[in-house]
Amino acid sequence: MDVVTAARPEAAARTIPETAIAANAPATPPENRLVMPVQSFRSWQASERRKPAAPAQWTTPWLKRLFVFGGGLLLTGYGAWEMYNVVSVSSTTSLQYALLVLFTVNFSWIALAFTSALLGFFGLLFGKGLTGRVENLAHRTVVVMPIYNESTARTFAALTAIRESVEATGLGSHFDYFIVSDTTNPDIWIAEERAFLALRERLGNEARVYYRHRPKNHHRKAGNIADFVTRWGGHYEHMVVLDADSLMTGTCIIRLAAAMEADPDAGIIQSLPLIINRNTFFARLQQFAARVYGPVIATGLAMWSGRDGNYWGHNAIIRTKAFADHCGLPDLKGKPPFGGHVLSHDFVEAALMRRAGWSVYMLPDLTGSYEESPPSLIDVAVRDRRWCQGNLQHSRILGAKGFVWSTRQHFATGIMGYLASPFWLMQLVVGILIVLQVSYARPEYFTQQSTLFPIWPRFDPERALHLFAVTLAILLAPKLFGLLLTLFNNRLRRAGGGAIRLFVSAIIEVLFSAFFAPIMMLIQSGSVFQILLGRAPAPNPP
């Protein structure tokens, strides 16, 4: 699909009344409401799914999925067989069987990540990036930035930079900008209003920048976006949803809008945000990993997902009317942590959009999309606790009626992303127990069976070492793929300081990742156990 070609120029663009941009204009334009009905996870009919407007563009990447999931299954079978041979040299104990099961589960997780990254590696190696210039747009798009007790200077500076970059493309008249605030701190709220008035005064009557404050943070970010859509969504064909720490270039936003206009079946198009603007050592490690390894993983995911992709809640463009029609989220029955409002709403909104017949996909080769990361391990742990609850909550939604297979896979991947930590922890504990059993338990050399020779407790150390090497290689392969692609790219290699510095940086990142991995395993395991025990976290930013 050519995302740089203007689509449907005959369509009439929706415009904001002139009174909304007068010198004495209020902070928001006149309302243009959309109805956002609450969806059901229990009742749905296939007849409710719309038919594609451009079926020729609607293809399912079956061969890529066969490669990823079939290859992952074969690798898992190989790993399980090797581990069985390791523990079954002599009679196998219950602890050894437990080790086999846990190893198989954990190995399947990294095997699937490996095959997906391998697909992404070849996709980036032989694929071509987006080229050309967008000459025209047919519809109006709004850039929406939800904020909640954020740094006022940072958020308004980011929105100003985004607006200036869009204006520089020559297509700025197609875009409005909306800051939707759920701030509860009165000092920050006043600072936001002052910053908004100063921005409007500086930019003049044609600013097309609006501000709305919602006094109650009902349903967090999902409720914030829903309030905007139901009140002003009718003005806009599309909306680009940001996070408070998002930053996007004008070219990136223009290309997203052009891609949406060129594809009448697109409901959500997700960009790949890269991490920027951090200076702590921990955050720089994350930034390096996201820049070097992230595109490989994201490209593989995009290739096998196709039009059944996922949404990460920000730095994406959404068809506003379709979102209003199909993404009203119900509250789950029961109390938190598994009941109440949906925390990780982005996955669910993508699932509902896809169920309704709209496509959801990612453009991983679209540059100019950025975000910030937590500066320390403690900040990561706080955010991760909330994400953990949201992903585990998806177990209540996984079996909803009408969801396509890939949607359920995305949910399962998100759930397993947190369950993997306690599974690795349990495998480690079982391994220690086996060592203690061999060291301190009295072996039974002669069983009740009649044998000519005693039964010596043994395992196969050579095969175990080989399996460890294979597991480590599969685990590190996606990092190697990303490093090789970066070294092959002249521009990225020079930006990274050259081949030697890139290689040294990769070694440092791998070593410190190995150091932080056990800490994160314990943190995530603790979060999972707390949630399974019914302990919901304290209120956090949305």
| Residue that has been written with the tokens 């949305």 in this structure | 542
What integer pLDDT is reported at residue 6 of this predicted model? 32
Q: Are 188 and 152 in contact (CB under 8 A)?
A: yes
CA distance 273 to 283: 15
What integer pLDDT is reported at residue 134 of this predicted model? 86
Q: What is the pTM (predicted TM-score) of this model?
A: 0.91
What integer pLDDT is reported at residue 17 of this predicted model? 45
Q: Are 378 and 312 in contact (CB under 8 A)?
A: no
Q: Are 351 and 407 in contact (CB under 8 A)?
A: yes
Q: Which of helix, strand or coil describes residue 120?
A: helix
The angle at the Cα of 485, spanning 308 to 108, to the nearest 5 degrees, equals 50
Q: Are 341 and 259 in contact (CB under 8 A)?
A: no
pLDDT by 10-residue block (mean), the chain, 542 residues: 34 41 72 97 94 92 97 97 85 85 96 97 86 86 97 96 96 97 96 95 88 94 97 98 97 97 97 92 94 96 96 97 98 93 96 98 95 93 93 96 95 96 95 78 55 55 90 96 96 93 97 95 95 74 51
DSSP string for 211-262: EEE-SS-TTHHHHHHHHHHHHHGGG-SEEEE--TT-EE-HHHHHHHHHHHHH
| Residue that has been written with the tokens 């898992």 in this structure | 76
Beta bridge partners, 141, equal 175, 238
CA distance 206 to 25: 11
What does DSSP assign to residue 125? H
Give the tokens for residue 304: 């096998």
CA distance 347 to 362: 13
What integer pLDDT is reported at residue 21 of this predicted model? 43
Q: Are 14 and 235 in contact (CB under 8 A)?
A: yes
**Dihedral (CA of 410, 414, 419, 421) sign:** positive
CA distance 518 to 538: 25
What integer pLDDT is reported at residue 15 of this predicted model? 46
